[in-house]
Amino acid sequence: MHKIVIIEDEQGIRNMVEEYLKQQFYHVFACEDGLSGLKAILEIDPDLIILDIMLPELNGLEVCKEVRKYDKYYPIIMLTAKSQKYDIIVGLEIGADDYIVKPFSLEELEARIRAMLRRHTKLQSKHTENDTALVRQKEQIIKEPFLLDLAKHELYKNNISIRLTPTEFQLFMLMFKNPGRVYTRLQLLDLALGEEYQGYERSIDTHIRNLRQKIEDDSAEPKFIVTVHGIGYKYNEN
């Protein structure tokens, strides 16, 4: 049974989400402020976090930033209001994987949770070590200056490790394995994040911007992940 921590200060929303997810056979832990939420994450070691932005004690953005300092990676879905567009961008930039805008349907939230858990489980399975050097070699893709290790879910640039979120890793891996191919935003949502991922199309832009900041020499003038105006993005190996 998957464990989920909900951090939401509005009691009505918190109780509604908690009860619904329990009916869907999740093990749910509900918190009403950021500090108690951080404590619960450390104690419970959840499979996923549902995090409101506007919280007492410690707001959702601060909680997200603290969680991303941990060694273990926790998938995070942020709950936002329509008026919090700037906070949505900041949340994605500091490491949230997805967001859903209030008011939302419980069915949509649960679909996002299922897609996120399935994707995270697939990524974790790729961490398994293989016994033979031949298999290990096949699980590494090298295109200077990058080495992409599929088994360990790691990216290196000039032999220096670059820490990517699962979303960033999936996006980079897709384009890195298919250099020169142009992907639309919808294709990236579908192929990299899964057909049940129902994130907003423009959220891809934020993930790409974060990825560029980590892999490019100058993110303002990217050489590797380039924009094809009017269409989308591609990996440029030239």
Q: Is 145 found in the same domain as 225?
A: yes
Q: Is 181 found in the same domain as 81?
A: no
Tell which of 85, 105, 125 closes a domain: 125
Q: Is 60 found in the same domain as 145?
A: no
Ramachandran quadrant class, 29 (left: phi over 0; alpha: psi -120 to 50; beta: rest): beta
Per-residue pLDDT of the chain (238 residues; tens, 9 = 90+): 899 999 999 999 999 999 999 999 999 999 999 999 999 999 999 999 999 999 998 999 999 999 988 878 899 999 988 667 778 888 888 888 888 999 899 999 999 999 888 877 766 655 544 443 434 445 788 899 999 998 788 999 999 999 888 888 889 999 999 999 999 988 888 777 665 555 556 678 888 999 999 999 999 999 999 999 988 999 998 7
Q: Is 157 found in the same domain as 231?
A: yes
Q: Is 155 found in the same domain as 98?
A: no
Domain span holding position 167: 133-235
> From residue 194, how far is each of 95, 187, 199 by CA, in Å?
19, 10, 10
Give the tokens for residue 137.
């070699």
Q: Is 121 found in the same domain as 156?
A: no
The pLDDT value given to residue 197: 52
Distant-in-sequence, close-in-space partners of 164: CB < 8 Å, separation ≥ 6: 155, 172, 211, 214
The pLDDT value given to residue 71: 73
Sign of the CA dihedral 182, 184, 190, 192? Answer: positive
Q: Is 210 found in the same domain as 188?
A: yes
Contact yes or no for 198/111 (Cβ under 8 A): yes
Residues 140, 145, 148, CA angle at the centre, nearest 5°?
A: 25
Q: Is 96 found in the same domain as 20?
A: yes
How many domains does one find in the chain? 2
Residue 55's domain is classified under what CATH number?
3.40.50.2300
* DSSP label of 130: -
Residue 191's domain is classified under what CATH number?
1.10.10.10
pTM of the model: 0.67
* DSSP label of 117: H
The pLDDT value given to residue 31: 97
